[in-house]
Structure formats: structure tokens, C-alpha cells
């Protein structure tokens, strides 16, 4: 089936969907096969719910002229997205990294939206399916597109860049995330740097954090626009960064007091500030945007439950993000501190070693009550009066629900699969 023909049909539709539970009237439904389902079986249901056209790759589910039969639905979705991106010819900013991608994407979006009609990745739709859906959400009204790219193995960022063909790129950092798929930290660096390779090969521009030695080293090879703290060679110089618990940054004569917790968010803020400056967003507008942003979806949220102040950072975790979250938490003023830490996933052969490193990191601290949840942490169990280890969340919740914690600061941090936000149910 000709992709130009499919694109013309797509332009007549209001949206694209891959889930019949979220079908909109006059949408284009793309039936993608998953590990546990075959969306071809939902083609008729999609039309009945209001879809104008359905794309299928199994002819036994052909219905009528509203059915578009292709060889592979996922490949067609990706090709359609690439075609649409080339059709619109709008500037696109892509970003990836081990930690902070989604927060940075949201901050860039709120800053640039002060001047431009922007459209950004929704949530964390950042993979081989999410990126095409993001590209297809852009319209002729979109002035700048912001695309988050995630990866858990090499060549994935390369593939996503070929789809989105970004004009600008930013890598938040190179941390210990998805070590199993990347084959170690060096693999992470190589995989994330695929974005730099694309930008360099196509004479595009990267935004660079001069506080990161890896970014500094690699930036020699391509055009860049940089930021740094008191760096005279930076395009944008941040003069001060502090946090207790909220991050405050200064540049020129502007002070920005954000609602983001922890110094680990400073680079995310500084990147958005820098990109705003590059696109000539007014200083006052940048300040308003960054100060009004409130994190959600379990990402560095500051909550109050009874007499306790809670940092809920349970969206995801890896050794790098876990370490900086703990370091930031230990610096807080409150003398009554509690940590609830869950297993970090996708670490492969390094899992037990990395979990042991976190336990060891905290072993010298006698003043913080630490709850460790999950098999990997439990395997590294230490006998300490302020350490409690549980193999499962259920074991933890049965005990924690009987515990009274008051007037404390509490950090909740773990991988998404641990769903540690459930802990809030046991706090008054």
C-alpha cells in the first residue's frame, strides 16, 4: 500500500489510535500485534466505535473499503510517522538520557510554549511505537515538536532518530540504566551517543551540559550550544544553584525558584532554561514557566500526609538516580528521616552488585530508618537496627501498616514495577 495514499487518509482523520479503549470519532486505528494480543481482532470494534479507517496486516480481518491491508502494521505506522514528519518540515528537538528525560521534556515544553505553539511526547511514549504516535500528533499548527526517546539496547536511539530526524538534540546524562540490555555502562554511553552521531552526520545542533565530562568530550565533534555553572566558555552561564528542598537557580540577574526537589533536577532546569534562551524566549517568560511547573506522576513529588513530608519518586529507579536521590535526601534539614527503597530493574548481571552498593552506601548512617523492598535488596540483607528488608511489597505492607511514623521526612524511591506509591495508602 502506497504510504502517500495512507497519509492522505490520515490527514482526513482527527487522530491515530492503537487501543480500541481510547478510540476517538474519525480516528485512524492501527492494529499492532503484541506479545499477548493481536489487535487485528479489534478492527471491527474500532470501526463500530467511530474510527474512519483501520490498518490491518491480517487479511482474514478485512471488513470493507475502510480497511487498509498492509504487510506489517507496526512498520506502516513508523513509515507513516516518518512521512508525516517530512511533510510538516517543522523543527524538532529530541532528547534522551538515563535519568530525567521526561521531566526535562516537560520543562522544555513549558518554556518554549511561552513563545511557540509546541507539541511534546505525552507521558513516556518514547519507544518504537510511542515516537511514531508522537510524530503523528504534530499538525500544521505545531511550530516546534519535542520528542522524548527511550532505549534499553543499542541501535534503538539510532532507529528513533531516523524516524524523527531531529534538528536539535539533548542527552540528559549517561547513567547506570538498562545495563542488562546495553551490556554495561560503556554500552549505555555508546547507545545514547547514537543521537550525537545522527546530529553530527546531518550537521544539526546538540545542547551540551558542560558539567558532564562525557558531553564535553563528545561535543568536539559537532555543533553545540552549551550551558554550565560559572563556566566562562558556556553559551548560557548559570551563576548559582541550590536546593532545600526546592531548586533555585540564578543566571544573569534572574532568580528562578522552582517547585522541583533536589539538586539532581538542577541540570534538567538549566537545560530547559538554555533551550529557551537559544530560541529567544524572554527571560521573564522563562522564569514564569519554570516557576509554575509542578511535577506529577510520582516524579519527585513533594506531598504532605498528616505530620509527614514525603518525597514520592517512585516512577522509576536505576543505580544513578537512586544514589543522587539518597544524597539529596540526606542533606535535608529534618532530623527524622525515613527511606522506603524498592528494587531497581533491568540491571542484568550487575543487579546484586548495584543493590549491594546502595545498601553499603547507607550502612554508615545510623540515623535514618531504611526499609528495603524486593528480592535484590533482600539478598544483600544487613543486620542493622535501622535496616528492615522485605522480599515482597506484601510483606512490607503487612508490617508497615502497623507502624506509626510522625513528624518525619520520607523518601519513596524504586523502579516502576515496584509501584511504591502504594505505600501512601498506609500513611495517615
pLDDT tens string 66-99: 999 999 999 999 999 999 999 999 999 999 998 8
The phi and psi torsions of 421 (rounded to 5 degrees) equal -60, -15
- Minimum mean pLDDT among 41-55, 223-237, 288-302: which range? 288-302
Distance, in Å, from the CA atom of 284 to the CA atom of 255, rounded to the nearest integer, reads 10
Q: Work out the angle between the directed axes of helices 185-192 and 194-201 (0-180°, nearest 10).
A: 30
Q: What is the mean pLDDT of the chain?
A: 92
Q: 8 Cβ partners below 8 Å, 6+ apart? A: none
d(CA 116, CA 328): 34
pLDDT confidence band for 225 (50 / 70 / 90):
very high
Q: Are the folds of 3-73 and 90-292 the same?
A: no
Please state which CATH class domain 301-426 belongs to: alpha beta
Residue with more model confidence, 181 or 200: 200
Backbone phi, psi, residue 285, to 5°? -65, -40
- Strands (DSSP E) contained in 283-383 are 301-305, 308-313, 337-342, 368-373
CB-based burial, 324-335: b 16+ in 10 Å, e otherwise: bbbebbeebeee
- Considering the domain 90-292 in this protein, what is its CATH number? 3.40.1190.10
Q: What was the pLDDT predicted at 428?
A: 66
Q: Region 44-54: what's the mean pLDDT?
A: 96
At 98 the pLDDT is 85
For residue 238, CA distances in Å to 112, 148, 173, 211, 253 come to 19, 25, 18, 11, 10
Which cell numbers in the block locate residue 356?
Answer: 549491594
The pLDDT assigned to 143 comes to 98
Distances (CA, A) of 192 to 94, 98, 202: 12, 8, 17
Q: Exposed e or buried b for every residue in 176-202, given b needs 16+ CB within 10 A?
A: bbbbbbbbebebbbbbbbbbbbbbbee
Across 239-386, the runs of DSSP E, i.e. the strands, are: 240-243, 246-251, 254-261, 301-305, 308-313, 337-342, 368-373
Q: Which residues contact 364 (CB under 8 A, 6 or more apart)?
A: none
Mean pLDDT of 30-51: 92
Quick one: pLDDT at residue 297?
A: 73
Output 324 or 11, whichever has higher pLDDT: 11
pLDDT at 365: 86
pLDDT at 357: 95
Nearest C-alpha neighbor of 182 from the set 192, 172, 173: 192
pLDDT at 244: 77
Asked if residue 180 has pLDDT above 80, the reply is no
pLDDT at 215: 94
Residues 193-207 pLDDT 10s: 999 999 999 999 999
Domain ranges of the chain: 3-73, 90-292, 301-426
Domain 3-73: state its class. alpha beta
Is residue 153 over pLDDT 90? no
Q: What is the pLDDT of residues 378-421, one digit of tens each?
A: 999 999 999 999 999 999 999 998 888 889 999 999 999 999 99
- The rounded distance, in Å, linking the Cα atoms of 387 and 410 is 15
Q: Which pLDDT tens digit goes with each residue over 102-124?
A: 999 999 999 999 999 999 999 77
Q: Inform me whether the pLDDT recorded for 100 exceeds 90.
A: no
Amino acid at each position: 500500500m502506497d504510504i502517500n495514499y495512507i497519509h492522505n487518509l490520515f490527514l482526513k482523520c482527527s487522530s491515530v489510535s492503537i487501543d480500541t479503549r481510547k478510540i476517538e470519532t474519525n480516528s485512524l486505528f492501527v492494529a499492532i500485534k503484541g506479545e499477548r494480543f493481536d489487535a487485528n481482532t479489534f478492527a471491527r470494534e474500532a470501526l463500530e466505535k467511530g474510527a474512519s479507517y483501520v490498518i490491518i496486516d491480517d487479511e482474514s480481518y478485512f471488513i470493507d473499503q475502510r480497511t487498509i491491508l498492509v504487510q506489517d502494521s507496526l512498520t506502516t505506522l513508523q513509515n507513516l510517522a516518518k512521512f508525516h514528519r517530512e511533510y510538516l518540515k517543522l523543527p524538532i528537538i529530541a532528547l534522551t538520557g538515563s535519568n530525567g528525560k521526561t521531566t526535562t521534556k516537560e520543562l522544555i515544553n513549558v518554556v518554549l510554549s511561552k513563545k511557540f505553539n509546541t507539541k511534546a511526547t505525552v507521558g513516556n511514549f518514547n519507544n518504537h511505537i510511542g515516537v511514531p504516535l508522537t510524530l503523528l500528533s504534530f499538525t500544521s499548527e505545531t511550530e516546534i515538536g519535542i520528542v522524548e526517546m527511550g532505549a534499553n539496547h543499542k541501535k534503538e536511539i539510532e532507529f528513533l532518530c531516523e524516524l524523527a530526524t531531529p534538528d536539535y538534540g539533548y542527552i540528559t546524562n549517561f547513567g547506570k540504566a538498562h545495563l542488562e540490555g546495553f551490556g554495561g555502562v560503556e554500552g549505555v554511553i555508546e547507545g545514547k551517543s547514537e543521537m550525537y552521531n545522527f546530529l553530527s552526520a546531518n550537521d544539526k545542533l546538540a545542547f551540551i551540559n558542560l558539567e558532564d565530562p562525557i558531553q564535553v568530550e563528545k561535543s568536539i565533534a559537532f555543533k553545540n550550544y552549551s550551558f554550565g555553572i560559572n563556566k566562562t566558555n558556556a553559551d548560557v552561564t548559570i551563576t548559582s544553584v541550590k536546593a532545600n528542598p526546592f531548586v533555585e537557580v540564578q543566571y544573569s540577574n534572574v532568580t528562578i525558584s522552582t517547585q522541583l526537589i533536589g539538586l539532581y533536577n538542577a541540570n534538567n532546569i538549566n537545560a530547559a532554561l538554555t533551550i529557551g534562551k537559544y530560541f529567544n524566549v524572554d527571560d521573564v517568560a522563562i522564569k514564569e514557566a519554570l516557576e509554575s511547573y509542578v511535577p506529577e506522576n510520582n516524579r519527585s513529588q513533594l506531598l504532605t500526609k498528616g505530620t509527614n513530608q514525603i518525597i514520592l519518586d517512585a516512577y522509576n529507579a536505576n543505580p544513578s538516580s537512586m544514589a543522587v536521590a539518597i544524597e539529596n535526601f540526606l542533606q535535608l534539614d529534618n532530623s527524622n528521616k525515613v527511606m522506603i527503597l524498592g528494587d531497581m530493574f533491568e540491571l542484568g548481571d550487575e543487579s546484586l552488585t548495584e543493590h549491594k552498593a546502595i545498601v553499603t552506601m547507607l550502612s554508615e548512617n545510623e540515623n535514618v530508618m531504611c526499609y528495603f523492598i524486593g528480592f535484590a535488596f533482600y539478598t544483600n540483607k544487613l543486620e542493622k537496627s535501622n535496616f528492615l528488608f522485605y522480599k515482597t511489597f506484601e510483606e512490607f505492607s503487612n508490617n508497615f501498616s502497623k507502624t506509626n511514623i510522625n513528624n518525619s521526612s520520607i523518601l519513596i524511591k524504586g523502579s516502576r514495577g515496584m509501584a511504591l506509591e502504594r505505600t501512601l495508602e498506609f500513611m495517615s
